[in-house]
Structure 1
């Protein structure tokens, strides 16, 4: 292990000189499952973990809620009232709305009542996490946390890559969505800014848009409003008459008479793939609030945070120094490489470890690591969770040999001038680790 640490330390020094990132802070913790040896470089120093925070959230959620946990959305219809009760399903989409509309039609519903009640009692807290950057709240990755969620509470805008200049149009054809854009093409990655008018889905998109991936997402102003608009359109497509101006109000009412339709989300084992593979922040925050609801009668972010800390303590882990949200978007979070490596080591013995491992991105294959150029030795793979914030790149996970974890690692970088330099160091680190594992 000493030789491994020396090699990694030399790698970091060379990188700092070559990249000009001498002011960046790098921490690393390693363990070998074959020998049981541990080692670290600044392993107890504290770093912004970014989305590596999701490892704490998903590990506890999988243990406490179980891999078969589901979220429910309920639609009730009587002769004079339509009720929609949100249960925090982070996966609900337009196709699910169509399925509900089809079920209405099959059961003889050809006209919706004028009075609509929206029940958002499942989650009526502030729709953003503690310590989130206020100037990012229109970006797709900071979608509102609500009881009713539609398409991740995001609107996707796309442009024709063959166009002379980018002309971004919304993929949802709704009258309430308006967009202006001032963009130029780039052959590199997109560098876009999303702004949205308060209390309306009026977006302004500006910056450089990648021709290779000419799309950008914006967060809707109201998940409930977006949900109703999509459901309304789905009903009309099925031939169900919908009032042009229904009377809509919020209320803690759950329909028990008339037609009651229940829709269940995919299993939690599938949802944590969205969290860890795709780094979906909204799904991570729903996990946290669900943990809080299991502790109290109502959904509560604070109760979820306390639940995660309590479970980590009962597992004998030090855990994060500061844990305030489920996704890692908050700039208040702090974790050390050693603490994250200890979690990864403990997970090896958990009955649901195969599910946890499968939820991670694979280097050069899928998830947030899909685009990394993989030239690892034959039989070697990397399963890991990425983390990205301004000036921050983090990576924690496992080096696998023939599918079995042989090395666990947490590699945290803060204080970057250019985040791409951080990803380059991660790549060099993984290749160095793969080479060392063969010695």
Structure 2
């Protein structure tokens, strides 16, 4: 009897750990090396066809996810936002056009070239009044590094972004071009003592012989937005503190997937933050990221394996904590809910696009890995989908935290495992 009891106790443990098969034993040996002795690592591999976890190494432990957070932002936006980006809300009262920011990140954005909202405002003859008091959040996310304020990956958040909330400087025909042009008088010569921008004001420091395109976040405020709108439209714009009525109208812009794709492929923090704010407004009529996060965790993802500590849309914050199992959970939800063709276009493809263009290449130029990377200093993660040679699609999350070796060496270790899985599963 004792042997029978022992057998029933041991067998489930083997099934859960995945160590009962030769394939899983090889993965276990992969993690039993000296490389991982001085870092934290977690890995979960899941087969969505069978519904079985194929391997799980510390998958229930929490890690700093970095830009893997964007996978949760993507899922939230897909569920809460319409197929086209809400460009702005508006209402006409008397002889005035009242407009309200939706958090729309593409208005005058240098990448998208979106013109729906611009043409709409330019062609109106009424005076325009801008309402921005629906923004109930901070310019920076919780736990963001203050030292990032002057760099392209950390623009401020607000209700009515313009120009991606960055100054763009580039060379054209031997001259330095500034967008928006109204900031030209705010340019100073850069030296070794200066960051690209002053801490509290829009004074920018550019090298005398500018070679590369620079994007520098500017200090936002309702007044600054008003000035930029007025300068761009060549119209007087006023600020109002009177909310638009409940029956306000919505002007729509470009397809939402084009923004999701850009966010995921180049890991655009600004787009991620604004998409989370827009999702919040969809459920609460106010721009506060916490509202979107709470709705996602409470209503969209109530059975998530481990509830994360989730504080921003981009993953810039080190306050975020997610587990590999939770990453696999939401990736499986995406896999079940979206057509494969659409899903894979939203993720970078190994060796071909986005942040994975120069890594995880295949021998035949057909991608075998579609995934979102996430990197902060001493942390690197990758979560997504592996296409195996046997025709399976497997879901994975691989998280590395608090290492001191070069990130390139971490990637080499990861690629060794991914190729093993691709070839053997």
Relative to the length of structure 2, the TM-score reads 0.78
Specify whether residues 40 and 377 from structure 1 end up closer, same or farther in structure 2 by C-alpha distance, changes over 3 A only: farther
For residue 410 of structure 2, give the secondary structure of its aligned residue in structure 1: helix
8 Å contact kept, 1:31–1:409:
yes
Cα deviation for residue 47 of structure 1 reads 0.7
2:65 paired residue number = 49
For residue 309 of structure 1, give the secondary structure of its aligned residue in structure 2: helix
Distance 1:429 1:169 in 2: 46
8 Å contact kept, 2:87–2:251:
yes
Distance 1:249 1:401 in 2: 56
1:202 paired residue number = 203
Distance 1:296 1:178 in 2: 40
Specify whether residues 101 and 158 from structure 1 end up closer, same or farther in structure 2 by C-alpha distance, changes over 3 A only: closer
1:181 aligns with 2:178: no
1:133 aligns with 2:119: no
2:397 paired residue number = 410
Query: Which of 151, 161, 165 is the matching residue for 1:153?
Result: 165
8 Å contact kept, 1:88–1:122:
no
For structure 1, list consecutive stretches of 5 or more residues without a partner in the other structure. Answer: 184-192, 237-241
8 Å contact kept, 2:91–2:97:
yes
For structure 2, list consecutive stretches of 5 or more residues without a partner in the other structure. Answer: 1-17
8 Å contact kept, 1:398–1:405:
no
2:218 paired residue number = 220
Cα deviation for residue 28 of structure 1 reads 0.9
2:131 paired residue number = 119
Cα deviation for residue 318 of structure 1 reads 1.9
Deviations along 1:300-359, one digit per CA (max 9) or x if unpaired, are: 222222112113543x22244311122211111111112211222233221466533321
For residue 70 of structure 2, give the secondary structure of its aligned residue in structure 1: helix
8 Å contact kept, 1:46–1:334:
yes
For residue 181 of structure 2, give the secondary structure of its aligned residue in structure 1: coil
8 Å contact kept, 2:169–2:214:
yes
Specify whether residues 100 and 378 from structure 1 end up closer, same or farther in structure 2 by C-alpha distance, changes over 3 A only: closer
Query: Which of 422, 425, 430 is the matching residue for 2:418?
Result: 430
Distance 1:404 1:120 in 2: 51
Specify whether residues 276 and 347 from structure 1 end up closer, same or farther in structure 2 by C-alpha distance, changes over 3 A only: same
8 Å contact kept, 1:376–1:431:
no
Relative to the length of structure 1, the TM-score reads 0.76
1:289 paired residue number = 277
8 Å contact kept, 1:89–1:149:
yes
1:311 paired residue number = 299
Distance 1:252 1:6 in 2: 65
Cα deviation for residue 48 of structure 1 reads 0.2
Cα deviation for residue 204 of structure 1 reads 3.8
Deviation larger for 287-296 or 362-371: 287-296
8 Å contact kept, 2:166–2:215:
yes
1:339 paired residue number = 326
Specify whether residues 421 and 311 from structure 1 end up closer, same or farther in structure 2 by C-alpha distance, changes over 3 A only: farther
For residue 348 of structure 1, give the secondary structure of its aligned residue in structure 2: helix
1:188 paired residue number = none
